[in-house]
Amino acid sequence: MSHFIDQIIEAALQENPGLTVTTRFPPEPNGHLHIGHAKSICLNFGIAEVYGGKCFMRFDDTNPLKESAEYVTAIMTDVRWLGFDWDDRLTHASDYFESLYAWAVELIRNEKAYVCSLDGEEMRISRGSLTEPGSNSPYRDRSTTENLDLFVRMRSGEFPDGAHVLRAKIDMSSPNMNLRDPTLYRIRHQPHQRTDSEWCIYPMYDYTHALSDALEGITHSLCTLEFEDHRPLYDWVLDHTTAPCHPQQIEFSRLELDYTVMSKRLLTQLVNAGAVDGWDDPRMPTLAGMRRRGYPPAAIRDFCNRIGVTKKNQRIEMSVLEQCVRESLEPTTPRALGVLRPIKLIIDNYPAGVFEAFDIPNHPNDPSAGSRKVMFGREIYIDEADFLEDPPRRFFRLSPGREVRLRYAYYVTCVGVDRDSNGEISTIHCTYDPDSRGGGTSDKRKIKGTLHWVSAAHALPAQARLYEPLFYSLNPLEDPNIELTDQLNATSRTVLHNAQLESNLQHAAVGTRVQLERIGYFCVDSDTQQDQLVLNQIVALRDSLPRDKPS
RNA sequence: UGGGGGAUCGUCCAGCGGUAGGACUGCGGACUCUGACUCCGCCAACCCAGGUUCGAAUCCUGGUCCCCCAGCCA
């Protein structure tokens, strides 16, 4: 779908048909990517694709206090997994430190920057407030010579952290806070993951970003709405240096998803608090989490296309993502039979010790997917949810006296139940109709209910993990008085230790996806061990069960 | 209360002076050896008030509400 940024680009192309549309995805390597980043990735790389341009993968690594090489690797993995490629356009802001420094010197020479020796607190106070102008720093009128001297000595490591900063000389009374002599460079005696100890001064984002964009020949610099106020500074930097070109910054709204948070800081907090198992916990909105959960990358790309790009605050319902996942999985994911909460069913008139193998299609809507053998016998498991002693209206499953179809196998009729000492049903007894072999009878009688099942003698025990939203609140940030960790959904993960699956899943590799018929899509989790298969529920099948209606 | 943005079905997106349309959700139905898939149908919106115009979601004026900004973070 075409959006306002496409329109801007098309207009630019109209004016200059030879233009190589160039974008960039500029993450800071200080955490893992989430689906909000996916929106930006799809936008930037997508535009390059559509307009035959280029997209740079650029790490915005200007703050060694927060960044690390591990995150760099993880981010590259995530972007590739999503399906994008940057060819030889992998860059780092730190690649440009020397040029950035030279431009800073240029700014000083042109009296557009000065070394300020106010401490943080003093600077904060002199900046004024939203409604009051700031006041000039007492160091604002240092001579060019002195500024140059101090800046060189800042670089050479002569001063401790915080002693001085380099500031742009703009306007302390600007109504835009970003223009009140913003800091360009600060001293940080901190090794950098790429440049090690080569630098002890590091450039700030606004300065770095504008110049890095210019250096790469970015034509359209796309960022989120909170940088709208920074655009004048972005433009100022490019206007007051000999930058090779002047990219256009365009802002769009960030993605918010219901029942989760989309902030690296808050996600880090959840990981550190142990609220989740890690960055790749399948409940996390991170790309790593979604990958582990089993979401196909194509589903996420589809999602990003569906939600569009605007400047309006965007809060999307989970159902959109889930439906993208289902639609992506449905046509290609092989089917399997498995029960999550098993209850034993004995077919009284089926001989003990006799088993037969049914040939079952791997994908009922796609014959080319082939078939597999599934064993059947006198004792099977069905799901607890498929039996009710006292069924409500429109319950199509099994209950005393009713006949249902066991998928691809036989019709069975419930003739009774056994109870344990607590009075709980321990076993369901049925009889089967031999004429119904394969799932149909000669009299063509209609059977409304069809249940999935697993032969008890052949069942493969497994652990199944079911997921719900991480938070119980639609927007966990809406009420700042409630701690994030107090809004966690207590049932965000349900671990079922006694799932029973068809034995064909025995050696399924980690990452294998399967649809457990009538339940949902599942993915073999990395916690799987030789003797313990672990399945994540990717997403449940949509269901149209009658809902409880107010009577 | 300074500055910068934004308001169209419940949610998201289209519309660019000429019948407000799509997706998701919800509801109803058809089909069905998955209550899946597929198909059909229905509910449902232009923030408010003026103005311009034959005609306004769109243009103008004035309001209202929401988001962002006072890091040596990005």
- pLDDT tens, position by position, A5-43: 999 999 999 999 999 999 999 999 999 999 999 999 999
Q: What's the pLDDT score for residue A548?
A: 60
- The per-residue pLDDT for A538 is 98
Tokens of A195: 């440049």
**A443 and A356 fall within a common domain:** yes
- A364 falls within a domain: yes
Q: Which of residues 229-268 of A have CB within 7 Å of strand B?
A: 229-230, 253
- For strand B, which residues in window 400-429 of chain A come within 7 Å by CB? 405, 407-408
- Which whole number is the average pLDDT over A375-402? 96
Last residue of a domain, one of A256, A286, A309: A256
User: How far is A270 from A313, CA to CA, in rounded Å?
Assistant: 24
Going by pLDDT thresholds of 50, 70 and 90, the confidence category of residue A551 is very low
- Binned at pLDDT 50, 70 and 90, residue A361 comes out as very high
Q: How many CA atoms lie within 13 A of A169 on its CB side?
A: 21
Average pLDDT, chain A: 97
A147 within a domain of the structure (yes/no):
yes
Mean pLDDT confidence for A109-131:
97
| Same domain membership, residue A206 and residue A134 | yes
Residue A310 CB coordination number (10 Å): 12
State which of A458, A474, A507 marks the end of a domain: A458
Shortest CA distance to A175 belongs to which of A130, A112, A229, A124? A130
* pTM of the complete model: 0.96
What is the distance between the alpha carbons of residues A431 and A428, in angstroms, rounded to a whole number? 10
Q: Read off the CATH number of the domain in which A267 is found.
A: 1.10.1160.10
d(CA A328, CA A321): 11
E strand intervals along A179-297: 183-187, 201-203, 220-224, 248-252, 255-257
pLDDT band of A368, cuts 50, 70, 90? very high
Interatomic separation, CA of residue A446 and C1' of nucleotide B29, rounded (Å):
20
Distance of CA A467 to the CA centre of its chain: 15
Scan for tokens 């349900």, then name that residue: A494
Task: For residue range A174-229, list pLDDT tens digits in order.
Answer: 999 999 999 999 999 999 999 999 999 999 999 999 999 999 999 999 999 999 99
Closest CA to A71 of A46, A43, A34: A34
User: Does A393 score more than 90 pLDDT?
Assistant: no
pLDDT for A262-302, tens place per residue? 999 999 999 999 999 999 999 999 999 999 999 999 999 99
3-state secondary structure A125-140: HHCCCCCCCCCCCCCC
Q: Taking a C-beta distance cutoff of 8 angstroms, is the pair A415, A347 a contact?
A: no
Nearest alpha-carbon partner for A27 in A82, A74, A95: A74
> What's the number of domains chain A is made of?
3
- Residue with smallest Cα–C1' gap to B73: A63
Q: What is the pLDDT of residue A418?
A: 98
Q: From A256, A278, A303, give the residue that closes a domain.
A: A256
Of residues 159 to 218 in chain A, which lie within 7 A of strand B by their beta carbon? Answer: 161-162, 164-165, 175-178, 182-183, 186-187, 202, 204-206, 208-209
A515 touches strand B (CB under 7 A): yes
Do residues A172 and A135 make contact, with C-beta atoms less than 8 angstroms apart? yes
Residues of chain A with pLDDT > 70: what percent?
A: 99
Of the candidates A442, A415, A401, A426, the residue with the CA atom closest to the CA atom of residue A350: A415
What is the pLDDT, as a whole number, of residue A1?
A: 64
Active site residues of A: 28, 254, 264
Spell out which residues of A between 4 and 43 contact strand B, using CB within 7 Å. Answer: 4, 7, 26, 28
Report the pLDDT averaged over residues A57-83.
98
Which residue has tokens 């730190």? A94
Residue A249 pLDDT level (bands cut at 50, 70, 90): very high
Asked whether residue A185 is domain-assigned, the answer is yes
A159: domain CATH number is 3.40.50.620
Q: Is residue A17 part of a domain?
A: yes
Bridge partners (DSSP) of residue A380 are A345, A455
Q: Residue A550: its pLDDT value, please? A: 42
What nucleotides of chain B have any atom within 7 angstroms of a protein Cβ? Answer: 1-8, 10-16, 23-27, 33-38, 66-74
pLDDT above 80 for A336: yes
Instruction: Identify nearest nucleotide to residue A541 by CA to C1′ distance.
Output: B36
Element (H, E) at A47: helix A35-50
Q: How many CA atoms lie within 13 A of A204 on its CB side?
A: 18
Q: Which domain holds residue A483?
A: 258-329+462-540
List the end-to-end C-alpha distance of chain A, in Å, as a whole number: 44
- A547 strand B contact, CB < 7 Å: yes
Residue A333 pLDDT exceeds 50: yes
ipTM for the complex shown: 0.97
**Cα separation of A192 and A196, whole Å?**
4
